[in-house]
Amino acid sequence: MIGSFLLIGPLAMVLTKTVGINFQNISTLSNTVLPSYIANTLWISGGVIVLSLFLGVSCAWAVTMYQFPFRKQLEWLLILPLAIPSFINGIAYAGLTDYAGPIRIALRATPLLNDVYIDIMNAWGAIFVMSLVLYPYVYLTSRSAFANQSSQLLEASKLLGASELQSFYKVAFPLAWPAIFSGLSLVIMEVLNDYGTVKYFGIPTFTTGIFKSWLSLGDMPSAIFLAFILLSLVVIILSIEWWITRKRITSNSSFSRRIQKEKLVGPKKYIVLAFIFGVLIFAFIVPLFQLLWWLNLSFHNTDWSKFLIIIGNTLKLSLYSSILIIVLGVFMAYAFRIIKKQKLISSLSKLSSLGYAMPGAVVAIGIIATILLINSELIYAGIYALLFGYTVRFFAVGYNPIVAGFKKNSSSLDDAAVTLGLTRLDSLFRVHLPLIKRSLLVSLILIFVDISKELPITLILRPFNFNTLSTNAYQFATDEMAPESSAASLLIILVGVIPIYILNRSMRSK
Amino acid sequence: MFMKYLSLLFALILMASCSTQSGEKSNTNEKKGVVNVYSQRHYNSDNKLLEKFTAQTGVKVNLVNAGADELINRLEMEGASSPADVFITVDAARLNRAKNKGLFQSITLKNAANLKAQFLDTDGLWFPITYRARVIVYDIEDVDPTKISTYADLAKPEWKDQVVIRSSGSSYNQSLLASIIEASGEEAAGNWVKGIVANMARDPKGGDRDQIKAIASGVGEVSIVNTYYLGLLLNSSNPEEVAVGQKVGVIFPNQQQGGTHVNVSGAAVTKAAPNKENAIKLLEFLTSEESQKFYAANSFEYPAHKNVSADSTVATFGEFIAADLGFAKDMSLTEKAVLIFDEGGWK
C-alpha cells in the first residue's frame, strides 16, 4: 500500500499543478494543430506496435521452436538493440543517410547515382527507427512465455490436424498473449511519450503538444492536463486488455515437458537465418557502425579522462534503482496475490505503473513537488531524488514481468506451501522466487538498460556536478555535434550490453 | 546459481560506488565558499571558464545543466529554499520570463557599463554574456545574394520550393517570429509565415545543421540558421560536414530595418541566492574583458562586451548591426508567435 502511494504520490502532485488551468490555450491548440498531432501519434504508435510485435514475436518463436546454426548466440544478440536509446538511433540513421554520411559519400562517387537524395526523417522512418530499438521488449517477454509453454498443447493441436501456423496463432500466441502484451504495453508507453526522435524527425505528435504548451506557451497547467489525457488513453488501453484477458486460462508449465526444438533444414533454415540476421543488421550493426565511424572522426577531441566517473555514475544509478524497483515490485506483486480480492488495492497496483506513460520531464516535476512537500533539504542531498524519480518512472518496466511471472504459478502452489507449514514469507522465498527467477532477470535487464539510457529525469533531478553517459551524449547531441556524442552513446550501449549478456547466460543455465 | 549472480551484482555495486567516490569531492573549499549555478549552457567553453573562475577566486562552482524552462520551473517550485545562486540561459525571452516571475534579484554589476547597451535589461536584473545571430544562408553556386536583404524576402514567390527551415517548435524560430510581430504586427507576421510555408521545399525537420546539409543536397537553396551552429559545422570533426558548410554563404538580414535578429545568452542572480556575494563575483568574472575574449575565441558566439569582437569562425561572416531585444520583454510575443505558426500551418 505504502509502496503504491509513494509511486502514485508524485503523479498526484503533478495533477495538483493543473490548478489554475487556462483553457484558452488548450482550445486554441485543439482548434488548430491538436487533431493532426493526434493523427500523427496514432499513426506512429500503430506502426511501431505492428512492426515491433511482428519482429519481437517472430524472432522469439524462431529461437524457441527451432534449432539452427548460431541459435544460442543470436538468441541474446537479438536483445541488444534495447541498449540503443531511440533518439540516438534516430540520429545515427539520419547521419547515415544525410549529405555528410557514408552512404551519400559513396553514392556521390558513383556515376548516375551521385544526385540521389535519401530521406529517412519522416513518419515511416520514425516507425522504423523506433521499432528497431523497442521490439526487444516484446521479444524478451514472448520468448520467456514461449519457452515456458507446454509442448503437450502444441502436440495436441498438431494431432488435431492444425498446421504449424495454425497452432501458432490458435494455441501458442493466445496462451502467450498476457506476457507478450506486458512487453507490448511498454512499447506503447515508450512510443506515446517519445519526444526526442519525433521532434528531430519533424513529426509533431501529442507529446509535442504537451511540450509546446509547457515550454513555448509557458503554460504548465495545460501541459499537465494534456499529459493526463495521454495517461488516460494508456489506462483505457490497459483496462481493455485486462478486461479481455481476465478469464483466460493459463497453462501450468511446471508439470509438462519442455518444447523439443525442431532442427531446421533446407530453405527454411536459410529463410529463418536471413530474417534474424536482417533484423540484427538493421537494429544493431548499422547504428553501431555509424557511431563507430563518428567515434573515429571525433576520437582526438574527446575528453576521455572524465568517462570513468561518468560510467561509474551511470552504473550506480542503474543498479541501485533496478534493485529498488525489483524488491518493491516483488513485494507488491506478492501482497496483491495474497489479498487478491480487494479490487481497490489491485487497481492501486495498476495505477502505480503509470509513471511510464508520462513524459519523464513531467514526472520530474511531480518528484520535485513531492520532495519539497516532505523535506526541502532532500532535493539536493545526493542521488535520492533521482532514485525516487526512476522508481516512479520505471516501476512498470519491472513490475509487469514480475506480475506475469507470478501469474504462471498456480494458486495451488500457495495452498500446498501453506499446508506444508510454510509462512507466507517463506513461501515467497522458497517457492515463488525460484520459480519466477526468469521473470526477475528479465525485469532487471529491462530496468537497468532503461535507466542507463534515461535523460529528462536525470537532467533535472541530478545533484550538482553530476554527469551520466546519457547527459554527456545529450550535451553534444543538442549542439548538433553528432560525432562528439558518439563516445557516450557507444558507452551507453556497452553498459547495456554487458548485463544483457551476463543475465542471458544465467537464464539459459538452469 | 542465483546467489552467484546476486554476489556478482553486489560486486558491481561496490565497484560503482568506489569509482564515483573520486567525483564527489563537494564542499571541500569551504573557506572561500561555493556558488551554485543552474545553467542551460552545457558547453565546454563555459566549463573551462568556470574552472578558471575557481582557480582565480577559490570559489567552487557547483553546476546543474538542463533546459531553461525546466530550470525556471525548478527555481519557482523551490522558492525560498532553492540552492541556486546564478541562473544562465541562452534566450533573452526566457530570462525575462524568469524575471517576470520574480525569480531574480537586482544587483550592481561593475562591468555593466562595458556591455553593449542595447542588450542590457532595463531593470538590471540580468546581464548579457554572449549572443548569436539568426542569419540567412544560401547556396553559393545557385543564388545571387544581392536578391536577399531581409527575412521578408524569403517569403516572396520567387523562392517557391527553395526554402528549407526547421520546425516551429524551435525556440530560435519562435523568437524570430516574435521579433517580426513586434516590428510589423501580427498580420504581417501571419503573412510572412504563410509565405515561407508556401515556399518550403520540404516539411520542416532536423536541426540547423540539417538545413545546411539539405542545401548541399540540392533540396533547397536558402535557409535561416543560427551562426553558432554554422560555426560548429565549419569546425566539425567530420570533414564532409566542413565541406557542407563551405557550400553556403551568409547574409545578415534586416541591416536597413533595425538589424539582424539575435539570441542573447545572459546570467542573473536568483532571488533566494544563499551565496549572493559569490554569485556577483561569478557574474563580474563572466562579463570581464578577459572572459569575454575567451568566449570570443572559443564558443562561436559574439561577445556582449563593447570592446571585444568575435575572434572565431563567426568573425569571418563579417560585421553586422544586431536588432534590440524589444520582442523579448516578456513571453507574450513568443506565445503569440507559437499560435501564428500553428495557424499558418508551419509544422
Using a CB–CB cutoff of 8 Å, tell me whether B70 touches chain A. yes
pLDDT digits (tens, 9 = 90+) for A115-140: 777 888 899 999 999 999 999 999 98
> Mean pLDDT over all residues of chain A?
83
What's the pLDDT band for B121 if we cut at 50, 70, 90? very high
**Partner-chain contact B331 A218, CB within 8 Å:** yes
Cell of B22: 573520486
CB A66 within 8 A of CB A168: no
CB A55 within 8 A of CB A139: yes
Give this complex's ipTM.
0.81
Write out chain B residues lying below 8 Å of A509, CB-based: 1
User: How far is A53 from A46, CA to CA, in rounded Å?
Assistant: 11
User: A210 CA to chain B: closest CA distance, Å?
Assistant: 12
pTM across the whole model: 0.85
Cell of A271: 529463410
B62: β partners:
B36
Average pLDDT over residues A70-99: 90
Which residue, chain included where needed, has cell 538468441?
A: A75
B-contacting residues of A 10-49, CB under 8 Å?
28-29, 32-33
Across the interface, of A320, A365, A481, the residue whose CB is closest to B73 is A365
Angle between helix A2-16 and helix A220-244 axes, rounded to 10 deg: 140
User: A301 CA to chain B: closest CA distance, Å?
Assistant: 8
Selection from A155-169, A240-254, B107-121 with the highest mean pLDDT: B107-121
**Partner-chain contact B331 A32, CB within 8 Å:** no
Looking at residue B23, what is its pLDDT?
39
A33: β partners:
none
Looking at residue B57, what is its pLDDT?
94
Q: Could you tell me what percent of chain B has a pLDDT over 90? A: 66
A39-43, A191-195, A322-326: least confidently modelled range: A191-195
DSSP track, A181-241:
HHHHHHHHHHHHT--HHHHHHT---HHHHHHIIIIIS--HHHHHHHHHHHHHHHHHHHHHH
Whether B253 shows a pLDDT value over 60: the answer reads yes
Whether B38 shows a pLDDT value over 80: the answer reads yes
User: How far is A105 from B169, CA to CA, in rounded Å?
Assistant: 30
Using a CB–CB cutoff of 8 Å, tell me whether B62 touches chain A. yes
User: A414 CA to chain B: closest CA distance, Å?
Assistant: 22
User: B230 CA to chain A: closest CA distance, Å?
Assistant: 10
CA atoms within a 13 Å half-sphere pointing along the CA-CB vector of A154 = 24
User: How far is A138 from A7, CA to CA, in rounded Å?
Assistant: 25
Using a CB–CB cutoff of 8 Å, tell me whether B112 touches chain A. no
Cell of B41: 549552457
User: How far is A189 from A151, CA to CA, in rounded Å?
Assistant: 33
